[in-house]
A and B are shown apart, each in its own frame.
Chain A
Amino acid sequence: MSMSDKDQADGGLDVFFEAARGHAPIPSPDLLARVFADAETTQQAGPSTAPARVSATPDGLAARLYRLLGGWPAMAGLATAALTGIWIGTALPEGLIGTAEAAYLVDITPEMAFDLAGGDF
């Protein structure tokens, strides 16, 4: 092998870099076994047992609320419910229930509202 013009322009380092790439150390079977074992242990432990991440700044109210509600799965559910509500509110056909009827529906079964709230009002 000889130095190309590019090698010479780069101080001849390319042949060294190429050699290093060709001689990358290969993980031992023992290392791979340890990595597999760590992966299995982490999966079996589940996300709740993973150590909390160190944060450089104190958590804000939003972050604490986010965790309190159960993280992204709960937030996804809340977002879906909110979007569904918006859709119902905006997309309900006007011809199906008129404004007057809709207002009437609020009062037509007040005991159901109490039942839904689960209280002894």
Chain B
Amino acid sequence: MPFDAHDDVPDEALLVLFANGDSAAARVLALRLTPRVMAHAYRLLGNRAEAEDVAQEAMLRLWKQAGDWRHGEAKVTTWLYRVVANLCIDRQRRARGGSVTLDAIPEPADGRASAVEEMQEHARAEALQTALNDLPERQRQAVVLRHIEGLANPEIAGIMEITVEAVESLTSRGKRALSAALAGRQEELGYVDER
């Protein structure tokens, strides 16, 4: 089957094709899912190199799981978010006390906005990541899934294996902590006086 013929195929169906040896399905899945996995790992870890290792490991687990995938039980992305979170938590617990580097925020895309705006956006992303790094693991995970990945609370509850009420509590506490951490940087980050 041609490579681009898989573009509209759902993840779960691609996984079946992958398990049956379809190499084009493997490439489409890798290109579709690796960026999401990588971004999620980065937001939970705050370190690009570690996020790449986690992303590779999570995708490897997906490949190995393909033959035993239970259809209808969970979305592929839901499963991956859970695997990524577990891998990140394992790493953080192993390296407890280690410093987190913030040298890996990607460069702004050319031509998307003015240089000043891009610098401000970059600074906000970096400031948020710094504040996220200081949140407790579960609050960070819930806030990232809800407000950056844009998932609904029931799906987050499924990923984190907790109730929807617990998700709401975690995101609420997480946002309060983020607001407190970022409150002193509003003027510096240029969204108060910039009208």
Interface residues of A (CB under 8 A from B): 1-3, 10-13, 15-17, 19-28, 30-32, 34-36, 38-40, 42-43, 47, 50-51, 53
Contacts and interface: CB of A to CB of B under 8 A. Distances in A.
Contact of B124 (A16, A28, A34, A51): A16
Interface size range of chain B in the complex = 35 or more
Nearest to B64: A50
B128 A39 contact: no
Contacts of B23: 39-40, 43
B108 interface: yes
Nearest to A36: B30
B147 A27 contact: no
A16 B121 CA distance: 8
A25 B124 contact: no
- The binding surface of chain A is classed by DSSP as helix
Interface string B7-44: 00000000000110101001101110011001100110
Contact of A38 (B38, B52, B60): B60
9 contacts: A3-B191, A13-B175, A13-B178, A17-B147, A36-B26, A40-B23, A43-B63, A47-B19, A53-B68
A2 B119 CA distance: 16
B59 interface: yes
Across chains A and B, which 8 residue pairs bring their CB atoms closest together, nearest first? Answer: A11-B179, A19-B124, A47-B67, A23-B125, A39-B26, A42-B63, A16-B128, A24-B39
Given A16-B178, A19-B124, A47-B68, 7 more contacts: A16-B128, A25-B105, A26-B38, A34-B56, A36-B26, A38-B60, A42-B64
B19 A2 contact: no
Interface string B152-190: 000000000000000000000001101100100010001
Interface of B: 18-19, 21, 23, 26-27, 29-31, 34-35, 38-39, 42-43, 48, 51-52, 55-56, 59-60, 63-68, 104-106, 108, 117, 120-122, 124-125, 127-129, 147-148, 150, 175-176, 178-179, 182, 186, 190-192, 194-195
Contact of A11 (B27, B121, B124, B175): B175
B24 to A, nearest CB: 11
A34 B54 CA distance: 12
Contact of B55 (A11, A17, A22, A31): A31
B125 to A, nearest CB: 4
Contact of B38 (A31, A50, A51): A31
Contact of A27 (B38, B43, B65, B122): B38
A36 B60 contact: no
Contacts of A2: 191-192, 194-195
